[in-house]
Amino acid sequence: MNNYSTKEVFLEDNTLITSKTDLKGKIIYGNQDFIKYGEYTEKEFLDKPHNLIRHPQMPKAAFKLLWETLYKKKEFFAFVCNLSKNNHTYWVFANITPSYDEQGNVIGYYSVRRRPSKEGVMTMQGIYNKLLEIEKTQGMEKSFAFALDFLKENKLEWDSFMVELQNKGKEGGYR
C-alpha cells in the first residue's frame, strides 16, 4: 500500500537487507540486498546517513523513538517504508541493534531488514499517517506524545507490539 505516486516493490521471503553504521549513523557497510533495494552504489551510500533511503511517508517520531532506544543500548524493531534512488517504495520489518567492542562499548549500529507481514504494514501505515498528519499541523513533539499515548491506552509495549504484528504474517508476508 503506497500513498505516493512511486512504484512499490516487495521483498522476497529470503531477503535480508543488512547495513552497518558508525556511531554517528553514517553507513560503513551495505550487503547485496541493500544495494538491490536501495539502488545506490557503494560509492553513493558509504559515509552517508540512512536518510538517503528515507521515505516522506515515514513520520519523524518513528526515528526519534529509534534513536532514543539505541542511545539506551537497546535494540529496536519497526516497520519502515523506504525509498530507493529510482523512487521505488519498499516496506521492511527492521531490527536495529547497537554493536559492541570487547569492552562492551557501543562502536556502531547494525540493521537487518526482512519481508514484513501484511498486517504489520497495514496497521503501521495507518498509525504513521496519523503521526504525519499531526506533525504537519502541530509538530513532532505532539506526534511523539500521540504515539506514546496510543501505546499506553492500548496497554502495548512498542517492541512486543512490533514483534507480534510481524509474527501475524508467518503464513504469508506483505505483497
Ligand X SMILES: Cc1cc2nc3c(=O)[nH]c(=O)nc-3n(C[C@H](O)[C@H](O)[C@H](O)COP(=O)(O)O)c2cc1C
- Of 57 and 117, nearer to ligand X (C-beta) is 57
| Closer residue to ligand X in complex, CB, 107/155 | 107
**CA dist list (Å): 69 to 15, 31, 112, 117, 146:** 25, 24, 16, 23, 18
List residues near ligand X by CB under 6 A.
19, 21, 25, 49-51, 53-54, 58, 63, 66, 80, 82, 94, 96, 109-111
Q: Which long-range contacts (CB under 8 A, 24 or more apart) does 44-53 make?
A: 44/85, 49/21, 49/24, 49/25, 50/19, 50/21, 50/25, 50/111, 52/27, 53/82, 53/83, 53/84
With respect to ligand X, which residue has the nearer C-beta, 19 or 84?
Answer: 19
Judged by CB, which is closer to ligand X: 110, or 158? 110
Q: How far is the CB of 1 from ligand X (least distance, A)?
A: 18
Nearest distance from C-beta of residue 171 to ligand X, angstroms: 25
In the complex, minimum distance from the CB of residue 156 to ligand X, in angstroms, rounded to a whole number: 22
